[in-house]
Copies of this chain bind each other. A is one copy, B any other.
Amino acid sequence: SLLPQLINCGQRCDCTEHDLAKDRTISRLREKLHSLLEQTKKAEPTKPLKPPLPTIYVITPTYARLVQKAELTRLSHTFLLVPQLHWIVVEDSPHRTGLVSEFLSHSGLAFTHLHVATPHERKLQEGDPSWLKPRGAEQRNEGLRWLRENIRSQEGGVIYFADDDNTYSLQLFEEMRWTQRVSVWPVGLVGGMRYERPIVEQGHVVRFHTGWRPSRPFPLDMAGFAVSLRLVLANPEARFDGDAPMGFLESSFLQSLVTMEELEPKADLCTKVLVWHTRTEKPKMKREEAMQKQGLGSDPAVEV
């Protein structure tokens, strides 16, 4: 049964202290299940366990800005509802920040906390449009590096690159969990379109519905595919090319791993939208700046 995985749902892979008050539902469920299991073990003979669920390794690049804590908070709620998920958070930073460290330790999730600073020339500057430079490449590669050094793939496993401002349904994770090589599906509200998606004929991807350069090797958004751990471990050179031209970041990774014909179409043969490329507005701070000039600004010691 799923019971061992459900009990382990929420258990971290390190020993960081964990605030039970914030995890009442899951902690109490685990405690109750544990104690009830102890009692029933005496009554029942040991039953063979079903094979464990493959782990979904989610790699999320993140960076400090006003909405960061909010984004991570609502994202963590989605992940708390997905069994056997391991969150790899990679800060764009020369060091781990207190905000992210504290947040992760209280999240209730199994997590790994990494960091790598994007080189200055590749960083978006204030005022740059968001599409100007590929973002998050170093951080995703750092996540891959950690997996390659720490995980053996005997129990399957799939890797998903989940940015911290997108929106993910729970069904999406069950679609990706059994990926053999690379699986794909539609993404809503991306590329200036209602959705982008692979077009499937006779069970295979034949081309892509997208508004921009459909001749790219893989005209997919980062949120529109997942790759098996096994495939990544078998291809130690596969990584994201931070110098790739705009729109080619995904291709720079996937083209060394898989052909279009090998892609595994999910979400009802790529006809259902289970993930959305939402973006969050930058909050205005005009009143804050005016108040600060009068010495009446918000206390910077209060974490937002």
A interface residues with partner B (beta carbon < 8 Å): 1-3, 6, 9, 21-26, 28-29, 32-33, 36-37, 39-40, 43, 66-67, 69-71, 73-74, 77-78, 80-83, 167-171, 174, 186, 188-189, 191-195, 209, 211-212, 271-273, 276-281, 283-288, 290-291, 297-298, 300, 302-304
Contact = CB atoms under 8 A, between A and B. Distances in A.
Contacts of A77: 74, 77-78, 80-81, 170
Contacts of A36: 33, 36-37, 40
B28 A6 contact: yes
Given A32-B33, A69-B276, A193-B291, 13 more contacts: A2-B28, A6-B28, A9-B25, A21-B174, A66-B194, A73-B276, A189-B304, A192-B287, A192-B288, A211-B287, A211-B291, A271-B302, A272-B302
Closest 5 CB pairs between A and B?
A211-B287, A192-B287, A70-B276, A194-B298, A70-B167
B28 A1 contact: yes
Nearest to A23: B170
A290 to B, nearest CB: 7
A273 B302 CA distance: 8
Contacts of A167: 70-71, 73-74
A303 B273 contact: yes
Contact of A73 (B73, B169, B192): B169
A30 to B, nearest CB: 9
Contact of A192 (B2, B209, B285, B304): B285
A11 to B, nearest CB: 14
A171 to B, nearest CB: 5
- Secondary structure of the A contact surface, majority rule: mixed
A133 to B, nearest CB: 19
A44 to B, nearest CB: 9
Contacts of A9: 25
Contact of A281 (B271, B280, B283, B288): B280
A60 to B, nearest CB: 15
Contact of A25 (B37, B66, B83): B83
B43 A39 contact: yes
Contacts of A2: 24, 28
A176 to B, nearest CB: 14
A212 B287 contact: yes
A214 to B, nearest CB: 10
Contacts of A66: 189, 194
B195 A302 contact: yes
Scoring A33, A192, A209 by chain B CB atoms within 10 A of each residue's CB, the highest score goes to A192
